Amino acid sequence: MALIVQKYGGTSVGSPERVKNVARRIARWKARGHQLVVVVSAMAGETNRLLALAREVQGQPNPRELDVMVSTGEQVTIALMSMALMDLGLKARSYTGGQVKILTDGAFTRARIVSIDEERVRADLADGHVVVVAGFQGVDEAGNITTLGRGGSDTTGVALAAALRAEECQIYTDVDGVYTTDPRIVPEARRLKTITFEEMLEMASLGSKVLQIRSVEFAGKYRVKLRVLSSFEEEGEGTLITFEEDENMEQAIISGIAFNRDEAKITILGVPDRPGIAYQILGPIGDASIDVDMIVQNVGHDGMTDFSFTVHRNDYHKALELLKPVVAHIKARDVLSGDKIAKVSVVGVGMRSHAGIASTMFRALAEEGINIQMISTSEIKISVVIDEKYTELAVRVLHKVFGLDQPA
Amino acid sequence: MALIVQKYGGTSVGSPERVKNVARRIARWKARGHQLVVVVSAMAGETNRLLALAREVQGQPNPRELDVMVSTGEQVTIALMSMALMDLGLKARSYTGGQVKILTDGAFTRARIVSIDEERVRADLADGHVVVVAGFQGVDEAGNITTLGRGGSDTTGVALAAALRAEECQIYTDVDGVYTTDPRIVPEARRLKTITFEEMLEMASLGSKVLQIRSVEFAGKYRVKLRVLSSFEEEGEGTLITFEEDENMEQAIISGIAFNRDEAKITILGVPDRPGIAYQILGPIGDASIDVDMIVQNVGHDGMTDFSFTVHRNDYHKALELLKPVVAHIKARDVLSGDKIAKVSVVGVGMRSHAGIASTMFRALAEEGINIQMISTSEIKISVVIDEKYTELAVRVLHKVFGLDQPA
ipTM of the complex model: 0.76
Is the residue at A203 inside a domain?
no
- Contacts of residue A84 in chain B, CB cutoff 8 Å? 57-58
For the CA atoms of B389, B390, B391, B392, the dihedral, rounded to the nearest 10 degrees, stands at: 110
The CATH number linked to B130 is 3.40.1160.10
Is the residue at A308 inside a domain?
no
Q: Which of B80, B108, B129, B130 to mutate to test the interface with A (most CBs of A within 10 A)?
A: B80
Answer yes or no: is pLDDT of A49 > 80: yes
Give residue-wise pLDDT tens across range B153-212: 999 999 999 999 999 999 998 888 888 998 889 999 998 888 888 888 888 766 566 777
The predicted pLDDT at position B203 comes to: 81
Is the residue at B30 inside a domain?
yes
Is the residue at B44 inside a domain?
yes
Over residues A329-343, the mean pLDDT reads 93
Give residue-wise pLDDT tens across range B87-136: 999 999 999 999 999 999 999 999 999 999 999 999 999 999 999 999 99
User: In chain B, whose CA is at the least distance from the CA of A22?
Assistant: B57
Is the residue at B161 inside a domain?
yes
- Owning domain of residue A154: 3-174
How far B109 CA lies from chain A's nearest CA (Å)?
14
The predicted pLDDT at position B305 comes to: 87
- Contacts of residue A50 in chain B, CB cutoff 8 Å? 76
Residue among A401, A366, A355 at smallest CA distance from A257:
A401
Most confident listed range (A74-83, A195-204, A242-251, B345-354): A74-83
Q: How many CB pairs under 8 A join A and B?
A: 107
How far A101 CA lies from chain B's nearest CA (Å)?
11
Q: Which of B53, B65, B79 lies closest to A65 in CB terms? A: B79
Tell me how far apart the alpha carbons of residues A77 and A93 are, in angstroms, rounded to a whole number: 12
Tell me how far apart the alpha carbons of residues A128 and A126 are, in angstroms, rounded to a whole number: 5
Is the residue at B128 inside a domain?
yes
How far B87 CA lies from chain A's nearest CA (Å)?
6
For the CA atoms of B55, B56, B59, B65, the dihedral, rounded to the nearest 10 degrees, stands at: -50
The predicted pLDDT at position A207 comes to: 58
| Residues A57, B94: C-beta atoms closer than 8 Å | no
- Edge-to-edge order in the sheet of strand B102-104: B113-116, B102-104, B137-139, B145-147
The predicted pLDDT at position B248 comes to: 46
Weakest mean pLDDT among A242-246, A256-260, B16-20: A242-246
Is the residue at B25 inside a domain?
yes
Run means of pLDDT, 10 residues per run, chain B, 408 residues:
94 96 96 97 95 96 97 98 98 96 94 93 97 97 91 91 95 87 90 88 70 82 91 84 63 85 93 86 90 86 88 94 93 93 91 84 92 89 93 96 84
Tell me how far apart the alpha carbons of residues B328 and A349 are, in angstroms, rounded to a whole number: 78
Answer yes or no: is pLDDT of A104 > 50: yes
Number of domains in chain B: 1
The predicted pLDDT at position A352 comes to: 80
User: In chain A, whose CA is at the least distance from the CA of B132?
Assistant: A65
Is the residue at A278 inside a domain?
no
Residue B368 is which amino acid?
E
Percentage of chain B lying above the pLDDT 90 cut: 67
